[in-house]
């Protein structure tokens, strides 16, 4: 998996999916060698996942892991035929992303105002659209934050996104202000990560999730996750007229088509707000 330049989270997810698949093969068909796997085994495995009510996205991810695995075995000559070649992706259910309203994200910002570190984390998500892993792995060397106190100051962070692709994301003045305030009180430690726990170690992704969840509850926001903040950033940037290419670059999307879905979401948000705030 590492040879294919997958991100660490992808490698871990694929490894778990493959273990599940191999255990199923052994338990159901008595298969102990990858050379024994036939296309029918893959179809029966998918059918079993469907019977168990696994979502289309889950089945698609497992098939992606299996196809990558057998593709690798084929590349190194470990198998004579690839049973997963050309397998179609299962259809996925289409779910509209959850997006915070302006009132909700304002409450969230207010809820964390009294804690410099947590405020910086939430502002970073809202003002940049970074992924959870990107925030958790952010180091001091990755962050260029002006300390002159000028409101119009602009900074940047260098992050490693999906496929280990690096990009630079602008920090607007709100993000800069929150990060500078936190760094002023940040404990002195040899840990290079920007965000630290109470004992001076790097905050894990799971810990950041708990922090965001705590303030979501305090702000009375339901059915939202850390990833909701990424959708919120993108949707409201588009709604406010930010160029779609700029949003694409910030999010790290390879295709503009992926980013363009926020156009319809922005329209829905605008409709809702104009309806709710009728004069």
Q: What fold, for 2-75? A: DNA polymerase; domain 1 (1.10.150)
Query: What pLDDT is recorded for position 147?
Result: 72
**Strand pairing report for 166-171 and 143-144:** unpaired
Q: Where are the domains of the chain?
A: 2-75, 102-276
SS3 content of the chain, % helix, strand, coil (to 5): 60, 5, 35
Residues in Cβ contact with 60 at an 8 Å cutoff, skipping those fewer than 6 apart: 89, 90, 92
So which residues are the catalytic ones?
131, 162, 227, 230, 253, 262
Query: What pLDDT is recorded for position 264?
Result: 87
- Residue ranges of alpha helices (H) inside 1-55 are 8-29, 39-51
CATH hierarchy code of domain 102-276: 1.10.443.10
Q: Answer yes or no: are the C-beta atoms of 134 and 160 closer than 8 Å.
A: yes
Q: Answer yes or no: are the C-beta atoms of 20 and 62 closer than 8 Å.
A: yes
Measured distance CA(141)–CA(139) in Å, rounded: 5
Measured distance CA(111)–CA(108) in Å, rounded: 5
Phi, psi of 167 (to 5 degrees): -150, 160
Query: What pLDDT is recorded for position 146?
Result: 85
Query: What pLDDT is recorded for position 6?
Result: 65
pLDDT tens-place values along the chain, 279 residues long: 444 556 677 778 888 999 999 999 999 999 988 889 999 999 999 899 888 888 888 888 898 999 999 999 999 999 988 999 988 877 766 677 899 999 999 999 999 999 999 999 999 999 999 999 999 999 999 999 887 656 667 899 999 877 678 899 999 999 999 999 999 989 889 999 999 999 999 999 999 999 999 999 999 999 999 999 999 999 999 999 999 999 999 999 988 988 998 988 888 887 877 777 777
Q: Answer yes or no: are the C-beta atoms of 158 and 166 closer than 8 Å.
A: yes
Measured distance CA(150)–CA(205) in Å, rounded: 31
Query: What pLDDT is recorded for position 136?
Result: 95
Measured distance CA(229)–CA(177) in Å, rounded: 19
Measured distance CA(237)–CA(178) in Å, rounded: 19
Token pair for residue 176? 């800069």
Residues in Cβ contact with 170 at an 8 Å cutoff, skipping those fewer than 6 apart: 128, 154, 155, 156, 250
Q: Answer yes or no: are the C-beta atoms of 216 and 206 closer than 8 Å.
A: no
Residues in Cβ contact with 160 at an 8 Å cutoff, skipping those fewer than 6 apart: 134, 137, 166
- Residue ranges of alpha helices (H) inside 79-204 are 102-111, 116-128, 132-136, 173-185
- Classify burial at 115, counting beta carbons within 10 Å of its beta carbon; exposed 0-12, middle 13-18, buried 19 or more: middle
């Amino acid at each position: 998996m590492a040879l294919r330049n997958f991100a660490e989270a992808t490698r871990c997810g694929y490894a778990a999916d493959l273990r599940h698949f191999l255990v199923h093969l052994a338990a159901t068909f008595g298969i102990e060698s990858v050379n024994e796997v036939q296309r029918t085994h893959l179809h029966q495995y998918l059918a079993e996942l469907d019977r168990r009510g696994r979502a289309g996205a889950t089945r698609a991810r497992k098939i992606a892991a299996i196809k990558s695995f057998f593709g690798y075995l084929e590349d190194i000559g470990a198998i004579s035929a690839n049973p997963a070649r050309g397998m179609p992706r299962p259809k996925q259910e289409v779910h509209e992303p959850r997006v915070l309203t302006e009132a909700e994200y304002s409450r969230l910002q207010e809820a964390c105002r009294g804690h410099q570190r947590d405020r910086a984390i939430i502002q970073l998500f809202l003002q940049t659209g970074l992924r959870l892993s990107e925030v958790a792995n952010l180091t001091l060397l990755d962050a260029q934050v002006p300390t002159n106190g000028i409101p119009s100051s602009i900074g940047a962070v260098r992050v490693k996104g999906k496929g280990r692709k690096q990009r630079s994301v602008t920090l607007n003045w709100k993000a800069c202000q929150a990060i500078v305030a936190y760094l002023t009180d940040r404990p002195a430690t040899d840990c290079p990560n920007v965000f630290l726990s109470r004992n001076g170690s790097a905050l894990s992704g799971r810990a950041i999730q708990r922090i965001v969840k705590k303030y979501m509850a305090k702000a009375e926001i339901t059915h939202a996750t850390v990833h909701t903040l990424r959708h919120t950033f993108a949707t409201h940037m588009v709604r406010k007229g930010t160029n779609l290419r700029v949003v694409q670059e910030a999010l790290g999307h390879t295709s503009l088509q992926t980013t363009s879905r926020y156009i319809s979401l922005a329209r829905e948000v605008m409709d809702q707000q104009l309806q709710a705030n009728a004069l």
